[in-house]
A and B are shown apart, each in its own frame.
Chain A
Amino acid sequence: MLAAIRSATLFGVEGRPVTVEVHVATGLPSFQIVGLPDEACRESRDRVRAAVLSSGLVWPASRVTVNLAPSSQRKGGSGLDLAIAIGLLAASQQVHPDSVDGLGFLGEVGLDGSLRGVAGVAPMVAALGSGVRPVVPSASAREAQGVAGDAVRVAGTLRQLVDALNAEAPWPEPPDNDLVDDIVPLPDLADVSGQAAARTALEVAAAGGHHLLLVGPPGSGKTMLAQRLPGLLPPLDAAIALEATMVHSAAGVRLPPGGLVRVPPFRAPHHSSSMVSLVGGGGTTLRPGEISLAHGGVLFLDELGEFAPVVLDGMRQPLEEGVIRLARARASASMPARFLLVAATNPCPCGGGPPGNCECDEAARLRYLRRLSGPLLDRFDLRVPVHRPDVDDLLASGGGESTALVAARVAAARQRSMDRIGMLTAHIPPAQMDALAPLDPDARALLRAELEADRLTGRGYHRVRRVARTLADLRGDELVGEANVAMALQLRVRLRVTSRGFAA
C-alpha cells in the first residue's frame, strides 16, 4: 500500500514543501528512508517506531520504504517525523487514507508518542500553501496560527491525532493563548539619568536609521543606552513583521503571543561569536544568524574591537544591502538582514577619561583603534562619546524624558523624512545630498572650517550632513542650519588619526 503525506522542511528562513511517500509491501521486514535525509532525519525511523508502538498501534512486519520527494533536495531536522508516522499508519490502513487529504503534518514525535514542536513552523506552514490545513504539535500552535490562522489543527500526542483522523474523537482544542504571558516590557529611556548627548544620539539613530557607535569607558552605560533603542523605533510594518517572524521561527526563537514579531527585536551577541552564528549558515539547512534575527530591529555589538575582524567584515555586505546571501556547494539561501547596528567600544585600552587621564601611548591607542576595521567604522554615521555621569549630573537631571515622548518625536521625524524624500535620511546618496538636504550659509561655513582644519574627512562630511538633516527633521526645520550641523559634529567623535591629530 502507498500513502503520500504533505509536509515541509526548512531551508534558511524559507520552508520548502516535501511529500512523504510511504510504501508498505511484502518482503523481509525493513525500514528505509531515501531522498537525501540528514542524520536527524534518518534517526526518525527509531523515534517513529517507538512512538507507534507506545501509542498502542501496530508496526507493520513488512518492507517499508519512505521517500522524501523531491528526492534531489537535502532535508534536515526532525520536523518530518510526524508526516512519516502518519504515512506509515495510512499505508498500513491504521488511519483511513482519505482522512489525510488536504492536511499537512509538521512536528517531531517522542518515544512515548507525544508530539514536540520544531523550529521553523511558521515558514514551513507558509510553504504548505493555502489549500492545505496544517496539523502541528500543540507547542507550535501559536506559531502556525500566526501564518495560517484558524485553519491550524493541533494534537498533543500521536494517539490523539490518530483518533481524530479516524473520527473516533474530536480534534483537540488549540491551547489558550491568553494564558501565555511573556510580554517583556521594553526598558524605558526615563531610567537613564544625564547622558544628554547619548540620548540625542539614540533619538537621531531611531529617526534617521543611522548606525551608532558608542565610545566610552567601561561603566558609562553604553549597554543600558543601546537596550533602549528598540523602544524608540516604530512597530514593524506588516511586511517586515512577517519576515522577522519567519526568521525567528526558523531559528527556533520563541515568538510573542500574537505569533507575529511586531516589536523591533534587540540582539546582542557576545564578542566571541563565530562568523556563522553572526551571519548565518552551518549544517545542511543554513540557519539564520544574529544579523537576520535582528531584522527590523537593533543589532548591538558590545566591545566591537574584540570581535574577530573576519566576523565584522562579513557584516559589511548585509549592512549595505539589507539581505545576506549565503552560498554553499550544495545550496544557497538569502535571508533578510536589515537592522540598525549599534556598537560600543572603549576609546583606548585603558578606558580613557578626562584629558591627561589616559595612560596609553599613542601607538597603543592606534593599535586599539586599528582593530576596528576602517570600512566598518565608516558605516557609523553617529560616533558618540559616552561619559561616566558625574554626581552633579545624576542629581541635577533626575529622570530624563520617557521612551513614549521621544518615540513620538521619532515617529513624526520619520514621517517627515518619508514625505519629503521617500526614504530615511541615512540612505540619502551623496550625489543627492545637496538636493535633499540643503544647507544654509552658516552651516556651510561651519562645515568648511572643519574640513579645512582637517578635523573632518570626506566621508565624515557626508555622514555629518545626513545626521544634521535628521536633526533638522526632528526639530521640524526646513533647511539644515548651523545648530543642526554643530550638533551633528558633536555626535561624531574623532577616531581617525591624521597628521594634525584625530579627525572625524
Chain B
Amino acid sequence: MSALPPEAYAAALAGLPAMTVHRLGALLRHHQPELAWQVALGSAAPQGLMRKVMADPATRAAIVRQANAASPEQTWRRCEALGSEVLVSGSARYPSLLAADPLPPPVLFALGSLDLLEGRRVAIVGTRNATAAGREAARSLGEGLAHAGVHVLSGLARGIDGCAHRGVLSAGGAGRPLGVVASGLDVVYPREHRDLWRSVADGGLLLSEVPPGVTPQPFRFPLRNRIVAALAEVVVVVESRERGGSLLTANEALDRNVPVMAVPGNPTNRAAAGSNALLRDGAAPVLDAGDVLVALQLDHRWANASAATERRRPPSRDERVVYDIVRHEPRTLEGVALAAGLELVDVAVRLGRLEIAGWVSQADGWFEVVGSPAP
C-alpha cells in the first residue's frame, strides 16, 4: 500500500459519489492525499472545513462507507492501464488555467498532450439535437479554426459538439481537438462517439474530473461545462435551445469574463432559440471562422481557407432555382414545388442532385441548405 503515489489516493477520492467538488477541494486543501484518504476512511481526524462536513453523521457515514468499498490501488491501476495522467490541484503539472479558476477541479484526469492547453483555445458548444445547418456550421467552424492553428474545446456530446470536433479532425491543421467529458475517460458516452473519443485522445487532449470507470450522471454535465468555459478564450454557441445545456456553458463563460459568441439562426428554428437570445443579449455574431479569429486577435487571412478549398460542385442554374427557395427556410418537397411552380418530379431530381453535391440536406422530409455556394 505504501508504494502507491499520493495521486492514487486523490484519484480514489474523486471517484466517491458523496465527494462533491467543494468537499474534495476542502479535503485536499487541508490534507495530503494519503491523509485525506484516512480522513475519508474515518480513521484520521479531519481538519479545516472538512471538520464541518464530517460532523454531519449522515454525510460522514456515506463517505466512510463509500471509501471503505473503494480501493486506491485499483483506481490507480486503471489509470495506469488507460495511460491517463492524474493531476492534483497544486501540483506542478496541474494546468495553470484551472488553478486560477473560482471552482477548479481538485483532481483532473488527462489523456493526450497537456501542452495543447498552452495554445489558443476556442470552445464550440451547442445542442445535441441540431439541424443539418447547425451541424454544418459547427463542422466548418471547427475546420476553419483548426486550419488557423486554434485548438477547439468541446464536450464530445452528440450534435454540435461532435460535429465541431469532426471538423477539426478532418481539417488536419495545427489546431487540435480538446475534449472535456463528464464520465470516466474509459466510459465512452455517447457510445456512437467511440471513434471520435479515440481520435481526440490520440490527436488532442481528453480531460475528465472523475476517475476511470465512473459512468455519466446528469448532474455531472453542468459541472463539465464549467471546465469547458474555464479553459476557453472564447465560447461559440452554434445552436442552443431555449433552456439548453450550452447556455449553462455560456453563463459559466460570462462568470469568468470569457467572451461569448453565437452563430445566428433562423428565428423560426427552435433549435437556435437559445443562441439567438444570446445574440439579442449582446453576444457577438459568428458567421465564419474568421469572426472568431478576429475576436482572438489573430490574423484572419486563414478565415477563407475552407471556402478556398471548397470541393463541392457548384449548383447548376436549374438547381440554383430550387436552392434559393430552400435557403430562406426549411421546406418540404411539396413546398418547394409550389414555390417554384415546378412539377414534383423536377423538384425531386434537382433536390436529389443538390443533396448528392452536399448543398442540401433532408431529414423527415424537410430540406434545408448546408453551406452556401459562391453567388
Residues of A within 8 A of B (CB): 194-197, 200, 215-216, 347, 352, 354-363, 384-387, 390, 392-393, 396-397, 446, 449-450, 453, 455, 482-483, 485-487, 489-490, 493-494, 499, 501-502
Contacts and interface: CB of A to CB of B under 8 A. Distances in A.
Given A197-B332, A482-B349, A490-B351, A354 B129 contact: no
A450 B351 CA distance: 13
Nearest to A491: B348
A387 B332 contact: yes
B365 A387 contact: yes
B286 to A, nearest CB: 18
B128 A362 contact: yes
B270 A356 contact: yes
A469 B329 CA distance: 33
B32 interface: no
B348 A361 contact: no
B335 interface: yes
A200 B356 contact: no
Interface string B354-370: 01100000111110100
A392 B364 CA distance: 21
B356 to A, nearest CB: 4
Interface stretch (B246-254, B293-301, B337-345): B337-345
Contact of A361 (B129, B192, B272, B333): B129
Contacts of A385: 332-333, 364-366
A216 to B, nearest CB: 8
Interface string B116-132: 00000000000011111
A355 B128 contact: no
10 contacts: A194-B334, A197-B334, A355-B330, A356-B330, A362-B128, A385-B333, A396-B338, A446-B353, A486-B351, A487-B344
A483 B344 contact: no
B133 interface: yes
Contact of B335 (A215, A393, A501, A502): A393
Contacts of B345: 483, 486-487
B309 interface: no
Contact of A354 (B159, B330, B348): B330
B129 A489 contact: no
Contact of B368 (A355, A359, A493): A355
Contacts of A449: 356
A356 B364 contact: no
A266 B133 CA distance: 42
Contacts of A196: 333-334, 337, 344
Nearest to A385: B365
A446 B356 contact: yes
Given A361-B158, A486-B348, 8 more contacts: A196-B333, A200-B344, A215-B364, A356-B330, A359-B241, A384-B365, A387-B365, A455-B355
Contacts of B271: 355-357
A494 B363 contact: yes
Contacts of B159: 362
Listed from nearest, the 8 A-B pairs whose CB atoms lie closest are A385-B365, A356-B271, A356-B269, A355-B131, A486-B352, A486-B349, A486-B348, A449-B356
Contact of A355 (B269, B333, B337): B269
Contacts of A358: 129
A230 B334 CA distance: 24
Interface string B23-67: 000000000000000000000000000000000000000000000
Contacts of A347: 364
A354 B268 contact: yes
Given A486-B348, A486-B349, A490-B348, A356 B332 contact: no
B239 interface: yes
A355 B338 contact: no
Nearest to A493: B365
B334 to A, nearest CB: 4
A454 to B, nearest CB: 12
B363 A502 contact: yes
B371 to A, nearest CB: 15
A365 B329 CA distance: 23
A438 to B, nearest CB: 19
B311 to A, nearest CB: 14
B337 to A, nearest CB: 6
B272 A356 contact: yes
A352 to B, nearest CB: 6
A143 B132 CA distance: 59
A386 B335 CA distance: 12
Nearest to A365: B129
A347 B355 CA distance: 21
B128 A392 contact: no
Contacts of A352: 364
A55 to B, nearest CB: 66
A149 to B, nearest CB: 49
Given A393-B338, A396-B338, A360 B129 contact: yes
Nearest to B130: A356
A355 B362 CA distance: 9
Contact of B132 (A195, A197, A355, A482): A355
Contacts of B335: 387, 390, 392-393
Nearest to B134: A356
A361 B190 CA distance: 12
A332 B362 CA distance: 49
The interface centre, meaning the residue of B128, B348, B362 with most chain A CB atoms within 10 A of its CB, is: B348
Contacts of A361: 128-129, 158
A489 B353 CA distance: 12
Contacts of A197: 332-334, 344, 365
B348 A489 contact: yes
Contacts of A195: 334
Given A393-B338, A486-B345, A357 B270 contact: yes
A453 B357 CA distance: 10
A446 B352 contact: yes
A355 B352 contact: no
B23 to A, nearest CB: 31
Contacts of B133: 355
A19 B124 CA distance: 84
Contact of B334 (A387, A482, A489, A493): A387
